[in-house]
A and B are shown apart, each in its own frame.
Chain A
């Protein structure tokens, strides 16, 4: 059986053929199964962000293949990639990246509405997710009126609300204090468990890394250790 996500000899070269040519990733191989809760760690500049961006189809692969749900994502065009992200993938960014003009609720609903969920379905799902993430009281606030930890929980809610198959979170806790960071990880772990969503996140923080069931360590674009 084909695995859920397969990264096959993937390399990423930035500014190819130009003065600033540099390797982001070198010959990475990974196999990820449905329902896993994985951390990618490694020193700064080791390629964590690059790897997550490639898996999410946000950037182009220089060589190799990423097979997601049996589809080679490097063969998809921009529209197909958009659809893939909308229907199958949720993103959580280090800098939260909420839509500043939208309330927490509108942010969480955004992807659901994009996918054509009815207002009723949105309301029910937002309430459910908000309860799990402890942000019920924050739903009508604008991002500017939320703390970093609260914003990141809203961002996680946005990522999971439309029930994607995969969540990609690039250093979701890097801007949070350690208590908020651990709380957020607990919530993400719970969503992974209860909703069966595969989660791949990156982190520097040993306490956060510790929460993961599987850890992949990168160094200089190479995959060093893949431990269960």
Chain B
């Protein structure tokens, strides 16, 4: 039938317009390299910006989870909304012993948090004083690892204080200095004592470092009358990816007034805040990319109109509009693909490099960082293959998309118009 290629034609069809497309890509070096460069640049940029944003969020999330709040925590239901000494975990020693024997749990520690007024000769500052179990706390939090100066607490410590670096600064105390406090005991009586600074820690979370100080719980219990009482129990699961499951299973063993939450549940608001922050980030990035893609669009327009005479000649000798479209589209796909691959390698390389060697943001960013809870201005980028792949695909689609309109436009001319176009 006329119009349909015969089997012989199909078998021997050599698509000379595609041959021309690949020749154009290879021979028009300047044109090709600018297009590849633009695509590669946008890909690398998107991958790197994503890696940076995700890295920042994950650093914050991970540091706050691992630092102190823990992968699983048990609290009195009401304590979660209203942290008052009315809502305590009773018989906490027994519970801890029971939880320690679970197969899915690696470490358990109990804490008693209370607000006190710290004072020195010159200053008074409000803050959180917590009784912790120094040995198990080593496993469930990063308190010991955050040691900056002096020593971490021991099981037989008495009036030794482990204090946050920013709080120490506020109180103007150093190792060996005396700090006194006034607080409320579990029976609502006033409690006060003199403590000696044994160690100073710095976690990097500004809020935490400027408000927290720790005592050995066995001594704390004597002062505050909190023996076998806890405000929370923190658990480290054997497998942190199974925190939700372990938490769920623990919930069944608890009395009604207590609840167990995994980090995902207790960090819900932080996760939400980060997602929101990420959306704003993506909008900003999106605007940047609209500009870049506009540049690609204009550039494609220019290069295609520079070739409109050639296109007219090809049409005149019998190349159909579909074939011209296939030719120009093949060029666009090839260039975009190379550009995206180059961009993925560069962007992925940067994401990996700065994942291993966290980016050190200078001192000028310190104030801004403190607001977000960092003292450390070094942040590792997130190196996530599937995100990199996703970003590559996005730019691939967008850069091909931005060439379609110019292709359709040059293809819409009649052959004479194209040949004589100036």
Residue of B nearest to A164 (CB): B318
- Contact between B14 and A91, CB atoms less than 8 A apart: no
The B interface, classified by DSSP as helix, strand, loop or mixed, is helix
- B249 proximal to A (CB < 8 A): no
Nearest-neighbour CB distance to chain A for B5, whole angstroms, equals 6
B9 interface residue per 8 A CB criterion:
yes
User: Are A86 and B319 closer than 8 Å at their CB atoms?
Assistant: yes
Decide: A91 and B416 in contact? CB cutoff 8 A.
Answer: no
| Contact in complex: B419, A114 (CB < 8 Å) | no
Give, as a whole number of angstroms, the nearest-CB distance from A3 to chain B.
22
Nearest-neighbour CB distance to chain A for B133, whole angstroms, equals: 77
User: Is there an interface contact between A91 and B316, defined as CB atoms closer than 8 Å?
Assistant: yes
Query: Is the CB of B321 closer than 8 A to any CB of chain A?
Result: yes
* Candidates A87, A100, A114, A116; contact of B17 at CB < 8 Å: A114
Residue interface bits A16-47, CB-to-B below 8 A is 1, else 0: 00000000000000000000000000000000
B313 touches A99 (CB 8 A): yes
The complex places the Cα of A95 from the Cα of B414 at a distance, in Å, of 18
Q: How far is the CA of A119 from the CA of B316 in the complex (A)?
A: 23
Contact status A111-B321, CB under 8 Å: no
Collect the chain A residues with CB atoms within 8 Å of residue B272's CB. Answer: none
A175 contacts the other chain (CB 8 A):
no
**Which residue of A is nearest B15, CB measured?**
A113
Of A56, A60, A82, A97, most B-chain CB atoms within 10 Å = A82
For residue B27, CB closer than 8 A to chain A, the reply is: yes
Give A143-165 as 1s and 0s: 1 = Cβ < 8 Å from B's Cβ atoms.
00000000000000011000000
The yes or no answer to A124 lying at the interface (CB within 8 A) is no
If the complex has contacts A116-B13, A118-B12, are A99 and B310 also in contact, measured as CB distance less than 8 A?
Answer: yes
- Annotate A54-94 by CB proximity to B: 1 below 8 A, 0 otherwise: 00101110000000000000000011001101110111010
How would residues 1 to 23 of chain B score, 1 for a CB under 8 Å from any chain A CB and 0 otherwise?
Answer: 00101101110111111011001
Is the pair B318, A58 in contact by a Cβ cutoff of 8 Å?
no
Q: In the assembled complex, how far is the CB of residue B326 from the closest CB belonging to chain A, in whole angstroms?
A: 12
How far does the alpha carbon of A117 sit from the alpha carbon of B415 in the complex, in Å?
24
Answer yes or no: A1 CB below 8 A from chain B CBs: no
Interface residues of B in 286-329 (CB under 8 A from A): 309-310, 313-323
Flag whether B180 is at the interface (Cβ < 8 A).
Answer: no
| B16 adjacent to A82 (CB under 8 Å) | no
CA distance A111 to B20 in the complex (A): 13
Residue of B nearest to A50 (CB): B416
A200 CB, min distance to chain B CBs, angstroms: 15
B8 touches A116 (CB 8 A): yes
A110 touches B16 (CB 8 A): yes
Cβ–Cβ < 8 Å partners of B251 in chain A: none
Closest to A79 in B: B320
Residue contact B16 to A116, C-beta cutoff 8 Å: no
A60: nearest residue on chain B (CB-CB)?
B414
A116 pairs with B313, CB closer than 8 A: no
Show 6 A/B contacts (Cβ-Cβ < 8 Å), sorted by A: A87-B318, A101-B20, A101-B27, A115-B9, A118-B8, A159-B317
